[in-house]
Structure 1
Amino acid sequence: RLGCKVDVDHEKNLVIIDVPQTPAARADYDLVRKLRASINVLGPLLTRVGRAEVALPGGDAIGSRGLDFHIQGLTDMGAQIHSEHGYIIATAKKLTGCKIELPFPSVGATENLMTAAVLATGTTVIENAAREPDVVDIGEFLISMGAKISGLGTTTIEIVGVSELKPTTHATLPDRIVAGTWAFAATMTLGDIQIINGRTDHLEMPLEKLVDAGAIITKEKTGFHIKMDRRPSSFDVATLPYPGFPTDLQPMAISLNAIANGTALITENVFEGRFMFVNELLRLGAKVQVDGHHAAVTGIEKLSSAPVVATDIRAGAALVLAGLVSDGVTLIEDGYHIDRGYPDFASELQKLGADVARG
């Protein structure tokens, strides 16, 4: 839709993108509504084309997750932005570098502002920037294209604008949340699996919690190995921006603690709506009490099957894990949420011996 030529080789996990000199400036609602990260085209289009029309994003409904940080930062760089008929309309003859202090280390805002700043005039400094490996990966990708960026992985990122970027080849990072999900799955099901390409250095806090639960984790050249041979012990979790415990693995922590020995306190500090899926977990017999941004989880030995609904990607994955340790057959509706974050999840589980079918 933006005028790019995209070739995808699924066997090689390869994507080749050929971008025209002047891409189209409009990201339509029918595509944007399916993926919240679509808002990340706002900054690049604005800095390259001088105009961007991006539908207000969809994706998971797990909190207010406003776009104020994105819009304020781009406005500080000289953009004129307003909303019209469900679209964000942004224009700028030329963005100008400036100092931007984010009220919260938002991954999306950091990425959007960084990608906008690489072609801006002058120097942009992003304070309280997100430190996630994903942000570092995008920054390194831009550097390989000729961008001048320093401070990646710290709270202060400095970008000196350049006149143009050049094509490059880049290998993306393995998805740490997917790797973490598999680690939780192994711990819950008393599994013994090797997670190929899993980066333990990107999952330090979650893996520490799984060790507390009783898992044995061994770092290997090709990833890491995780083994569990007893009922998990409960553990407390408080979500925080990286390098803290990721909010995207919080639902898995609740599912695990639902069958653990003891009581755990889960504190959600990032997205206020992340506990929405707890009502579905209660249908499986879990003992969870939610009070504001806290949830107390008392483990029971076995969950019981019931029909449940996936409310977002991570909630859906957490319900699948809960279904694996429930008696009977658990039916998860709205499984398309899971597909957005876990391609071939059912078939991969089948390879590990799970009795899972995709409807």
Structure 2
Amino acid sequence: MDKIRIVGGHVLKGTIPISGAKNAALPLMIASLLTEERLILENVPRLADVALLQRILGNHGVNITTNGKRVGDDPYAGQTLELDARVIVDTTAPYDLVSRMRASFWVVGPLLARMGQARVSLPGGCAIGTRPVDFHLDALRAMGADIEIDAGYVVASARKGLKGGRYEFPKVSVGATHTALMAATLAEGETILENAAREPEVTDLADCLIKMGARIEGAGTHTIRIQGVSRLRGARHAVLPDRIETGTYAMAAAMVGGDVMLAGARADLLESAFDILRQAGVRIDVSDEGIRVSRNGDGILPVDVSTAPYPGFPTDLQAQLMALMTRASGASRITETIFENRFMHVQELARFGARIHLDGDTATIEGAERLTGAPVMATDLRASVSLVIAGLAAEGETLVQRVYHLDRGFEKLEEKLSRCGAVIERISG
């Protein structure tokens, strides 16, 4: 099993290209099930989750052509996928595939809308909370779907097609919004989704669906209205830049100091996180090229943060911020409001010498003068990269194990950091 070795204490200076957003690419790929015509997606990141979803879609009969792997291509440019779901050969998404990635469960919406039936395994994924799919299913029921749970599978049918309906999510859910939004595009009549997720990835999906002929209003607000159409056409769409990768590298640069340009990043996708970094004493400069992050050696100031749905501070950056706050000059507080088990990285950060106290959903971090490198174990995708950030600043050597979590969400992590001066390498086996 691969490991990542880091020798800390090196300033980061240079340019880090930001990849396409994983959390946008996955629902966009799934949207290909809604049309018989080709969907062409540009700027798709090369990640384990993307490769796994290609296998899952292939199981349904989607033919996928990948461009961007030729000799001489920019290794940091996103790949282009051409997805052709002209013939759906199977409406079952099996346990052995869906259990490995939660987002693959979202195929239930498009399969049901287009084919009138779907049999999809209940999902798996990172162990950061229960994250039930009740909202996904209730939204589909509001559109007339009949749904049963049988031997660990969701069995859904709509023999006469889905009908427009109204559904209010009891709690903001990005995945459930994706599922309902895609299904509603082919439902007869109007569907209204209340308390919908406002994340940029939802808006990106809506933008692509509109190119495909969907009639959608209000994406990016709490109320989305969809007028169903009889069919969708093909389209070409570029995946938006990854705001979580952007925030992660911004915090890495802040952790060790230096000056890094995050090329292709969009500041408008991450305003809350940049507000917090500015409070911590980090300089953020926005230009047409991207976002420049710098810290001239002054100390990191403590902050008080609560995670929240967009446009609040992202839960997917909570672990990275905690790593940064281990070096702050004082006590910081981070409250996690989205997932109940998302503090599993705390024990691993403590191995560096971090001083963190947990009280329910709040972590208090007492800044330390120094961190010391240590062998650590990744527990989930975002926690994994928080250990990398800590290792970049720690004295001596850090060895991060279970890095397959990182491969799910960060493209060419070691290469991007090493080209800016980090001493970091992957050890195979």
**In structure 2, what is the equivalent of residue 339 of structure 1?**
407
Where does residue 212 of structure 2 map in the other structure?
145
Does structure 1 residue 290 correspond to structure 2 residue 358? yes
Offset, 1:22: 3.3
Aligned residues: 359
Equivalence for 2:252: 185
Mapped to 2, the partners of 1:108 and 1:169 lie a distance apart of: 23
Structure 2 distance, partners of 1:353, 1:53, is: 49
Equivalent in the alignment of 1:4: 62
Contact 1:137 1:172 in 2 (8 A): yes
One-letter identity of the residue aligned with 2:131? R
Note if contact 1:33-1:57 (Cα within 8 Å) is conserved in structure 2: yes
Corresponding residue for 1:201? 268
1:343, 1:78 → 2: CA distance? Answer: 40
Whichever residue aligns with residue 240 of structure 1, its letter is A
Deviations 1:63-89 (A, max 9, x none): 111111001111121111122232222
Hey, what does 2:236 align to over in structure 1?
A: 169
CA distance in 2, matches of 1:127, 1:28: 31
Correspondence list, 1:315-330, <5 A: 315-330=383-398
1:334 is matched by which residue type in structure 2?
A: R
1:91 matched residue in structure 2: 157
Of 204, 219, 222, the residue aligned with 1:155 is 222
Matched, 1:61 2:61: no
1:187 partner letter: A
Residues in 2 aligned to 1:161 and 1:314: alpha-carbon distance in whole angstroms? 36
CA distance in 1, matches of 2:259, 2:153: 48
TM-score (norm: length of structure 2): 0.82
Task: For 1:131-142, list aligned pairs within 5 A.
Answer: 131-142=198-209
Q: Contact between 1:188 and 1:256, CA under 8 Å: does it hold in 2?
A: yes
Give 1:273's match in structure 2, choosing from 327, 330, 341: 341
The whole-number CA distance in structure 1 between the counterparts of 2:336 and 2:351 is 21
- Residues 239-278 of structure 1 show CA distances to partners (whole Å, capped at 9, x for unaligned) of 0000000000000111000111110110111111111111
Partner of 1:44: 110
Question: Which of 362, 366, 382 matches 1:314?
Answer: 382
1:21 Cα offset (Å) = 3.7
Q: CA offsets, 1:85-118, max 9 Å, x none?
A: 3222211111111110001110000010000000
Give the aligned residue type for 2:416: E
1:279-338 deviations in whole A, cap 9, x for unaligned?
A: 111111110001111010011021112211111110001111011111121111111001
Q: Secondary structure at the match of 1:7?
A: strand
Match of 2:75 in 1: none
The answer on whether the counterparts of 2:190 and 2:225 sit within 8 Å (CA) in structure 1 is yes
Alignment match, 1:115: 182
| Larger relative contact order, structure 1 or 2 (CA cutoff 8 Å, min sep 6) | 2
- Equivalent pair of 2:60/2:88 in contact (CA under 8 Å): no
Shift of 1:23: 4.6
Amino acid at match of 1:9: N
Matched-pair identity in %: 46
Establish whether residue 238 from structure 1 lines up as the match of residue 338 from structure 2: no
| 1:163-207 CA distance string (max 9 Å, x none) | 000000001111110111111111001021101111111110101
Shift of 1:225: 0.7
Q: Which deviates more, 311-320 or 83-92? A: 83-92
Q: SS of the counterpart of 1:304?
A: coil
Q: Tell me the TM-score normalized by structure 1.
A: 0.98
SS in structure 2 of the partner of residue 158 of structure 1? strand
**Corresponding residue for 2:4?**
none
What are structure 2's unaligned runs of at least 5 residues?
A: 1-58, 70-77
Aligned to 1:73: 139
- Check the 8 A contact 1:190/1:231 in 2, yes or no: no
CA distance in 2, matches of 1:57, 1:249: 23
Distance 2:379 2:156 in 1: 31
Query: 2-side partners of 1:28 and 1:72: how far apart?
Result: 22
Name the stretch that deviates more: 211-220 or 129-138. Answer: 211-220
SS, match of residue 44 in structure 1: helix
Q: Distance in 2 between matches of 1:322 and 1:254?
A: 9
Report the secondary structure of 2:424's partner residue.
Answer: coil
1:22 to 66, 84, 88: 88
Gapped regions of structure 1 (runs ≥ 5): none
Counterparts of 1:307 and 1:87, CA distance in 2: 39
Q: CA deviation at 1:39?
A: 1.2
The 8 Å contact of residues 99 and 124 in structure 2, kept in 1 or not, is answered as yes
Write the distance in 1 (CA, Å) between the matches of 2:129 and 2:136. 16
Deviation at 1:27, TM superposition (A): 1.5
SS in 1 for 2:397: coil
In 2, the alpha carbon distance for the partners of 1:68 and 1:173 equals 28
1:221 aligns with 2:279: no
Find out whether 1:100 has 2:167 as its counterpart.
yes
**CA separation in 2, counterparts of 1:205 and 1:337?**
26
Deviation at residue 31 of structure 1 after TM alignment: 2.2
